[in-house]
Amino acid sequence: MIAIGDSLPAVTLGEYNAVEGTCAIGPKQIKVAEEVADKTIVLFAVPGAFTPTCSAQHAPGFVQLADEFKAAGVDEIWCLSVNDAFVMGAWGKELGAAGKIRMIADGDAVFTKATGLELNMTGRGLGLRAARYSMLVKNGVVKELNLEVGGGFKVSDAATILAQVHASP
């Protein structure tokens, strides 16, 4: 499992942003190693877009505190889930995440598997998913990691990682 001090895996993910009144072409490929270079990123992962805790509690906290993250020196906030880019784009639109959070699709679970942060929900109709967590990443290196244990929602929230951002050198 990825740990503090490790680099993020050099994998390719997806992102889809539909712009009103235009013909959207996508999804766009996101090369993680290139996208995180020389940036401070807060990345949080959820087991699934449009799921109850993810939609009602986890993601909205990051939307609400997006300006505070920016003021604290965070270049980008990423929401990652093992969903396709179209689902992540639609969920981001519903959350009002445009300009605040990048909705990143790990459709094949390549990032999730490479980090060892998977949640096996086979038998419950959801298959392999990302565990619920948040992390602070500077220049591609993990500085903080808040992994939820047992399906809870206690340590990966926006306020917790924001406090860690403020405390980080």
The per-residue pLDDT for range 19-67, each reduced to its tens digit, is 665 556 678 999 999 999 999 999 999 999 998 888 989 999 999 999 9
Instruction: Determine, yes or no, domain membership for 46.
Output: yes
54 is catalytic: yes
What is the pLDDT at residue 122? 76
Residue 130, domain extent: 6-167
- Of 13, 36, 41, 54, catalytic: 54
Q: What is the pLDDT of residue 3?
A: 98
- Whose CA is closest to 62, among 35, 43, 47? 43
| Torsion angle of the four alpha carbons 43, 79, 115, 128, in this order, in degrees rounded to the nearest 10 | 160
**CATH number of the domain residue 69 falls in:** 3.40.30.10
- pTM, full prediction: 0.94
* Number of domains observed in the structure of the chain: 1
By the 8 A CB rule, do 97 and 103 touch?
yes
Percentage of the chain exceeding pLDDT 90 = 80
* 1 part of a folded domain: no
Look at residue 139 and tell me if it is in a domain. Answer: yes
Q: Give a yes or no: residue 74 inside a domain.
A: yes
